[in-house]
Amino acid sequence: MSDDCLFCKIIAGEIPATEVYRDEDVFAFEDISPAAPTHTLVIPVKHLKDVTEAQEEDDALLGKLMLVANKIATEKGLIEDGFRYVINTGSHGGQTVYHLHLHVIGGRAMSWPPG
């Protein structure tokens, strides 16, 4: 946990969020500024600034983030029509909160290219 991280404070319950999933490794909650009808953030409990900070010992954690995202996409009915996973990294990648997070976005047609 990082004392000055918004998402670490959400995990700790210091800042309210609409929880979607929680276990000892992963926390998921609804985005407060959704980009689509479904927009859920899936984050590791372990503070990693971004995906580039992940090390070999984090391989199971990264896989678990994807599996939890799949579970959420299924529960929210996104599988049949499709959806998007996004991990923004760094300022040019659009990252605004520096705690690794995976966006599960769906419920409408997406355009390409993004951004």
Pairing, β 26-30 against β 38-44: antiparallel
Select which of 47, 92, 99, 101 is catalytic. 101
* Amino acid letter, residue 110: M
Per the DSSP assignment, residues forming a β-bridge with 83 are 106
The answer to whether the CB of 82 falls within 8 A of the CB of 65 is no
39 belongs to the catalytic site = no
Taking the C-alpha atoms of residue 77 and residue 58, their distance in angstroms, rounded to an integer, is 29
Query: Which of these, 81, 79, 80, 72, lies nearest to 101 by C-alpha position?
Result: 72
Instruction: Just list the catalytic residues.
Output: 101
